[in-house]
Structures are given as C-alpha cells and as structure tokens.
Amino acid sequence: MNYICYKLKKICRNRIFVPFWRSRRERWARRNRIIAELSEQYLREMPVVVPEKCVPQRLPCEYVFSMWLQGQDKAPLIVKSCWESIRRHSGKELVVLDAESIGKWVELPPGFLDRWRKGRIKSCHVADLCRLELLWKYGGYWMDATDYMCHPMPEFIDREPFFMYMSDEGWNFYIQNCFIRAYAHHPIVGAWRQILRDYWAQHTRAFDYFLPHRLFRHMVLSNARVADLFSQMPKICHDATQIFWEQYRDEPFDGKLFREITAEGAFQKLEYRSLSAQTPRPGTFADYIVHGTIGR
C-alpha cells in the first residue's frame, strides 16, 4: 500500500464504517481501530531485524536525555521547568541536545538533519530517531521536553532493562514513547532503531504522526524475539501520567492534591502550546508548574 492509497482508505473507512449514530467514544474507538489496521497493512512489507550479538548492558554512568532542537535558551518556560524537575528528582545527569550538539553524541543518517532544516520533516521525527540512537548507544532514559518529574524515579522502572508506558486501549498508538527506559544495546531498541532508519531511507515523509508507535506495534506482531522480550516488560497504562495536566491545570493549586494526583506516575506529561502553558492564570496548577515554584 502506498501513501496516497493509505490516506484514501483512511478517509473513506472513517466516513463509511464509523456510524454517526454511535456515541462519541464508540466512534473514536472505531476510528482508532481502523487506523491501527491500515497502518499494519502499510508496514506489512517492512522487515524487522534484531541486531546480531546484542547483549543488554547497564553502563556505569546513565543519563537522562531530552531535546530541544532550537537550543535550550529558546525553549518555553514550561519546558525549562520540566528540565529542572528532572534535575531535581531523577538522580542522574540530564543531557539536553539541540541541532548543534546531536553530532557529538550520535551519528544520524547522512542528510537527515538537513531535511529538518529545510522543513521536509518535523522536529518530532528527528527526536523520534535520536531517542533510539541515544538509548541504543548509551542506555539510560529518554524524557520528552514536556515530561515533568514530581518525585524520584520508581525503583521498579530503574531495574527494568526496557520499559515504556502502554497507551489506553481506546487509543491507537499502542505504546507511549515520550518516556523510555532502556539498557544500552537492548535488542528491542536495536530493532526499533533499525526499522526507523530503514523507513526514512525509503520514504520522504511520515505516513502517520505516530510513526514510531506504528513501527513498534509492527515489530511486536512480526518478530518472535521482539514479541518475547516485550512480553517480559511490565504493562502499565499511561493514564497515571496524563491525568494531571488534562484535568487540573487551570484549577487552584493545592499541594496535597498535587501529591495525590501525581503519586502513581513516574512523571506527568505536559505540553507547551496552550494558553495554560504560555500565560497561566495566577495561582493555578499551571502557574506553579510554569514558574517552577513547586518543590522550592
């Protein structure tokens, strides 16, 4: 299936096979199932290759990696607050990469960053590949620039050779890659890294915004070794990392409530585009987050 065929089928099936008389949640769930099915058809011919002789290794020095391609000084306040929370709680050195420093840490495919500079691929797609390159080579953690740590890393996650949160069953992207814990040279990361590199060697654009999520699901369905290793990972829904910002950001700040809301997640996923993130109302949860006053 080529890109145009995928898009046409996606539009047609979402209009024909998603009855308008169903509830909003039922329509939403149906659309997500259709997209997941079409994505697997699109990727069916892509081989999954687990690197030979790769042995997961926990290196003596582990980092938390994050990224802002334009440079740390140009990041929004809420992103800088997220980085400060990681420095405060992770117990590890935070490395924030930008377009100039990536080459000091990993080697990307020739011309890949130039495609971003020319606007041919999005920043998120650069970050998608970089997180896998970094974790394959160094291990440690990847945390998106909008991941806010509220307390130290749970011990069970730190012990895992590979861990990500799972998406809610109603969503169609299977896993949540804004937070990844991995040992260096882990086979899952190696296979994921390779299939993403192969995709960009063959395509000029992402067929779906959730490209790495689609590829990951394809790997689990297509490769027995990846499926076996993935089956050993604890399966924890990402809901506990989403609830705070979605439901409470504009509510009056309450320290006790904040601790209760965030107790079950290793972090809280935020964003930087909304008014709440850019110009929060004084005294709200968002205000305390943006201006970094929690925990001071």
The DSSP secondary structure of 183-232, one letter per residue, reads -BT-HHHHHHHHHHHHHHHH-SS-SSTTHHHHHHHHHHHH-HHHHHHHHT
Do both 212 and 142 map to the same domain? yes
Residue with tokens 């145009």: 4
C-alpha 125 chain-centroid distance:
11
- What residue ranges of the chain have pLDDT lower than 50? none
Do both 22 and 86 map to the same domain? no
Do both 110 and 14 map to the same domain? no
Q: What does the block give as tokens for 69?
A: 């391609």
Do both 208 and 143 map to the same domain? yes
**What is the predicted pLDDT for the residue at 36?**
78
Do both 123 and 85 map to the same domain? yes
**Which element (helix H / strand E) includes 67?**
strand 63-67
Strand 147-148 to 268-269 pairing: antiparallel
**What is the predicted pLDDT for the residue at 35?**
78
Do both 197 and 97 map to the same domain? yes
> What is the number of structural domains in the chain?
3
Q: What is the pLDDT of residues 90-122, one digit of tens each?
A: 999 999 999 999 999 999 999 999 999 999 999
User: Per DSSP, what are the bridge partners of residue 272?
Assistant: none
Q: pTM for the full model?
A: 0.92
The parent domain of residue 253 ranges over: 239-290
Do both 246 and 207 map to the same domain? no
Q: Is residue 194 part of a domain?
A: yes
